[in-house]
Structure 1
Amino acid sequence: MKNVLQNVEPKEVFRYFEEISKIPRGSGNEKEISDFLVQFAKKRNLEVDQDEALNVVIKKNASKGYEKSPTVILQGHMDMVCEKNKDTVHDFKKDPIKIEVDEDFIRAKGTTLGADNGIAVAFCLAILDNDHIKHPKVEVLFTTEEEMGLKGAANLEPSNLNGKILINIDSEEEGVLFVSCSGGIRSKVEIPIVWKDYDEGCIPYKLQIRGLKGGHSGMDIDKGRGNANKLIGRVLQDLFEHDDIYVSDIHGGDKLNAIPREVDATILFKNEYIEKIQSKIKKWDDVFKHEFQSSDPHVSVKIEKIDRKIEKVFSDQTLEKVLALSFLIPCGVQKMSMDIEGLVESSTNLGVISTTKEKIVFSSATRSSVRTMKDYIAKQIKEASKLVEAEFSTEASYPEWAYKKDSYIRELFIDVYKRLYGKEPEIAAVHAGLECGLFSEKLGDMDMISFGPNMYDVHTPNEHLSRSSTERTWKYLLSVLEEIK
């Protein structure tokens, strides 16, 4: 396979970024990449440990002159969000990411790139593989299933880590140092399906919403972008209230941490209603184009005839419950921070709707920097589920990362940034789940910071990484490590 990044600087970083991009590493499918990291360490005679959750810790001794410096934990997650366009043929379980260079940007062809958080893995491998870089003793921690609710970090055995300084390389904005993050919880509502027959002569159509930008359900939740799973509920309710239509399935979104861009529903109706249905579809297409003219100007609603036998459809009562829930489940920004201007305090994302033979499942990801608000939003979803007699459950709850008033590593990052660039970096909190919250619980009194190069549209097929920003961020990291004494 052609190495398209072989001449891109910093070469030592992009060499490993391209190498790991050839290895499937979607959340929950990290065995191969985890084993690769273990073998990488063994070939270089580095101390390595792989736990049952497939987290990997690799240790490298301090450079000469840094033997008495404090040990530093470098950390990133090995998994990536696997999203692709509908017309892209790609199997994330076996196919390599098809990387391409577009001027300053590195992209993937029709899929997520995996720079979140493959660039952290590449940074760390480049440090571990280079004996000329000046640094204190490093403990490199690669975690799994970060994108599935920080599961790897939640199952981490802390006894193998001794460092009290942790540098997390999982942020996406150069020049911004993150010192606090939100906590999160995932909610699931399951409606049992009662099936029924439908009238003869009904023709199946696929109702589709396309053209939304989507984005990261934490970082982009305040951008006013449309949520496909919420929008289709509005369309279906209008059709169901006024026409004899049937619905046999709804599928929207793929990942809880991505704002859903696309959703499909199979609907059936008699041919005599086609003009009326098309008129309503056109109305909703116009409505959404107006409502999202700034954030999602290419949104579209359409139907197309499908050649597929439909056995059964939702009963009227089942469909009523589905439509009610699509309206009742909260979604989007719930509260802005009163302390930090422009920061989302609490939000929730209806990320996935799926249909099986037995049930329709609504799955949401809730985030908040205030633990009681996180629990309150989950309770709202629970109460909505009660109204439609659905089953409610939660999983993957993780804590927030509180701001540390006195921080050696924060002040060092600030000083080095000012020396390199002649200006102050921005100190910020992030409305997204970083593993730092869990590390503070598991590892004790940790001095932590999170940073990274410029990435855009992560968790979408339009994800792209700035190579010039990556080069600057790499030099910044090396300069910080050199100053830790």
Structure 2
Amino acid sequence: MMDLKNIQPEKVFHWFYELNQIPRCSGEEKGVSDFLVSFARERNLEVYQDEVFNVIIKKPATKGYEKSDTVIIQGHMDMVCIKGKGSNHDFKKDPIEMIVEGDIMRADNTTLGGDNGIAVAYGLAVLDSKDIKHPPIEVLVTTSEETGMDGVHALSNEHISGKILLNIDSEEEGVFLVSCAGGANMLTTFKLEKQKKSGNGLKIKISGLRGGHSGMEIIKQRANAIKLMGRILSECNNNADIRLSEIQGGTKHNAIPSEAKATILADDLNMAKECIDKQVINFKEEYRVEDNGLTIEVEEIKIKDVYTKKLNDELIDYMMMVPDGVYYMSKDIDGLVQASLNNAVIEEKDNNIVITTSVRSASDSSLREIISVLSIIARRTNAKTEEKGSYPAWQFDQNSKIREKAVKVYGELFGKEAVVSAIHAGLECGLLKEILPNTDMISFGPNLYDVHTEKEHLSISSVERVWKFLIKLLEDLK
């Protein structure tokens, strides 16, 4: 076990360490869910685990707080599981290796799990405490947030009743979120049709992109590996009459894809290479600021079969036509993205080629517009579409008392004014507000960086400050 004695807050990082010993990729949360249940039972706390492994743990109020409104501390137990090039980490069985470098905690070439394990660690530290003053507590830990908020979709209000909810799933200290985007995933499916055709071909690999969270980082206009691959294929198809043999890119619906690869057959390999070289020059110029690590590798290989000409052309046309990135900026809040889309994953699956596009918007009408655009492009290229995993926006509440209290406490503690803001990423608060319409909500958290990438890291001192803030906020909710 790593030495946590000199890392504060010790109890929070103790529980974060314990969580990181348990594999908890989205969709594989039974182990960590059972751990949370055991934690509660060992302390004689009331606990409820539902059929999708959401966990609710209740702790009575401390003396003098019995009549205070119940406070929900909420986060999700799953994490995005991404590893960097050369990593042998097995997310199904290996613990996350936590590395401390000064004020930074990171993992060994994998995601750290701070999103959102740090929220769960805060909740466990409160539940385990004997000296923190607080109202009645309900710690709500949901599942599969990262893959469509499936856990909160399955949640009911049968076992939870708090009037104040503290969502600890934000990534910038001192910024209190009071509104978030809604969204949906669009699956565009092409029937995979191949034919025998052999010859000399090329394997193209795009890598070295920064990627990142498709809500938080979409405004930074980082390169999307799938869109870049579409541009390469279109250029080659127009000039060298290529035929795709295989294509794959991206890993998660909410991560900007940092890698993509494709194999192509070409009648004129030299012309195909020239087309690729031309695009490499274009890309390096276009993304010299945000993605200067861009690498495109080309390798000659033997091809045995290819996509039919019809599928080849329709798929490449779709990849070129489909929009990506920021779609609309907010007209109400400077610097806030209103609507966006991320072409997140392309893969051969079940005899189909499936493209997953994550669509986000603070406006339902804008969301519907983008989904219609995707449907039209798919229809024109003989593909089918399916909408999955939709979630509502969290609307701003002008009369939020917890917002006023949080801002006041933060200012008193740290001598500076907190920022009240909205976020383009999706939070579970939108769905929770539908389940608990009379519950006052706010979202906050410590400084996390490069989430949803193998470079994810957090600020240890920020985790400590947010812990002090949480303790003081609970104490003041009498």
Indicate whether 1:13 and 2:12 are aligned: yes
1:157 corresponds to: 156
Indicate whether 1:292 and 2:287 are aligned: yes
Amino acid at match of 2:299: E
CA apart distance, 1:305: 3.8
- The separation in 2 between residues aligned to 1:5 and 1:248, in whole angstroms, is 51
Answer yes or no: is the 8 Å Cα contact 1:352–1:364 preserved in 2: yes
Indicate whether 1:261 and 2:258 are aligned: yes
The 3-state SS of whatever aligns with 1:345 is: strand
> What percent of counterpart residues are identical?
49
- The separation in 2 between residues aligned to 1:36 and 1:123, in whole angstroms, is 15
CA apart distance, 1:54: 0.7
Q: CA RMSD in A?
A: 1.3
Answer yes or no: is the 8 Å Cα contact 1:247–1:268 preserved in 2: yes
> Gaps spanning 5+ residues in structure 2: where?
none
Judge which range, 203-212 or 434-443, deviates more: 203-212
- The separation in 2 between residues aligned to 1:70 and 1:429, in whole angstroms, is 25
Instruction: Tell me which of 315, 320, 323 is aligned to 1:322.
Output: 315
The 3-state SS of whatever aligns with 2:248 is: strand
- The separation in 1 between residues aligned to 2:379 and 2:307, in whole angstroms, is 20
The 3-state SS of whatever aligns with 2:197 is: coil
Indicate whether 1:44 and 2:39 are aligned: no
1:25 corresponds to: 24
CA apart distance, 1:19: 0.9
Question: Any residues of structure 2 matched to 1:74-89 within 5 Å, and which?
Answer: 74-89=73-88
Amino acid at match of 2:192: I
Answer yes or no: is the 8 Å Cα contact 1:136–1:484 preserved in 2: yes
2:115 corresponds to: 116
Amino acid at match of 1:459: H
CA apart distance, 1:244: 4.4
Indicate whether 1:194 and 2:193 are aligned: yes
CA apart distance, 1:317: 0.9
Question: Any residues of structure 2 matched to 1:66-465 within 5 Å, and which?
Answer: 66-199=65-198, 202-269=199-266, 273-305=268-300, 310-356=303-349, 358-465=351-458
Answer yes or no: is the 8 Å Cα contact 1:198–1:246 preserved in 2: no
CA apart distance, 1:405: 0.6
- The separation in 1 between residues aligned to 2:414 and 2:69, in whole angstroms, is 26
The 3-state SS of whatever aligns with 2:158 is: helix
CA apart distance, 1:246: 2.8
CA apart distance, 1:204: 4.3
- The separation in 1 between residues aligned to 2:42 and 2:148, in whole angstroms, is 32
Answer yes or no: is the 8 Å Cα contact 1:186–1:365 preserved in 2: yes
Residues 438-484 of structure 1 show CA distances to partners (whole Å, capped at 9, x for unaligned) of: 11111122100000000111111111101011110110110100100
Judge which range, 349-358 or 70-79, deviates more: 349-358
Residues 382-410 of structure 1 show CA distances to partners (whole Å, capped at 9, x for unaligned) of: 11110011111011111010111111111
> Gaps spanning 5+ residues in structure 1: where?
none
Answer yes or no: is the 8 Å Cα contact 1:13–1:122 preserved in 2: yes
The 3-state SS of whatever aligns with 1:295 is: coil
- The separation in 2 between residues aligned to 1:372 and 1:97, in whole angstroms, is 41
CA apart distance, 1:376: 1.3
Residues 278-300 of structure 1 show CA distances to partners (whole Å, capped at 9, x for unaligned) of: 33332222211100011101112
Instruction: Tell me which of 466, 472, 476 is aligned to 1:473.
Output: 466
CA apart distance, 1:149: 1.2
- The separation in 2 between residues aligned to 1:71 and 1:431, in whole angstroms, is 29
- The separation in 2 between residues aligned to 1:370 and 1:94, in whole angstroms, is 41
Length, aligned pairs only: 478
- The separation in 2 between residues aligned to 1:374 and 1:212, in whole angstroms, is 27
CA apart distance, 1:84: 1.4
- The separation in 1 between residues aligned to 2:24 and 2:66, in whole angstroms, is 35
- The separation in 2 between residues aligned to 1:356 and 1:247, in whole angstroms, is 16
Answer yes or no: is the 8 Å Cα contact 1:4–1:100 preserved in 2: no
